[in-house]
Amino acid sequence: MTAAPQLDRQIDTAHRFARDSALWLLGLCLRPDGQVAALPDRELGERALRGVRSGAATLLRASGVDDPELSERYQNLVGSLFLSEFDRLCAAWRTKGGRA
């Protein structure tokens, strides 16, 4: 019975990490003076996704999980959540007058 609560915690962590990462990236994108402003959108997205996936793997290892297949699936989950959240935040920013 301990697997379900641990899985729930990992999923909650995945959601929080993805949202926090998306908020962080949106903040960087809105700064006209940073290095991010000079990157093409595709390169920015690829770099951000690699960073988020790497962070997800680190979080999973820190929780004591050492299963490469599970790690890959967790990275995919967090990456998908991140992309969805970033798209949602960008759309909200554009349509709600700058309030995401």
pLDDT digits (tens, 9 = 90+) for 43-87: 888 889 999 999 999 998 998 888 999 999 999 999 999 999 988
pLDDT at 3: 57
Phi, psi of 67 (to 5 degrees): -125, 110
pLDDT in tens, 1-43: 345 667 788 889 999 999 999 998 888 887 777 667 677 878 8
pLDDT at 73: 94
Instruction: For residues 36 and 57, give the distance between their C-alpha atoms in angstroms, rounded to a whole number.
Output: 24
Domain limits of the chain?
Answer: 10-95
Q: What is the pLDDT of residue 95?
A: 79
pTM of the model: 0.80
* pLDDT number for residue 1: 38
Is the separation of the CB atoms in 55 and 17 below 8 Å? yes
pLDDT at 71: 92
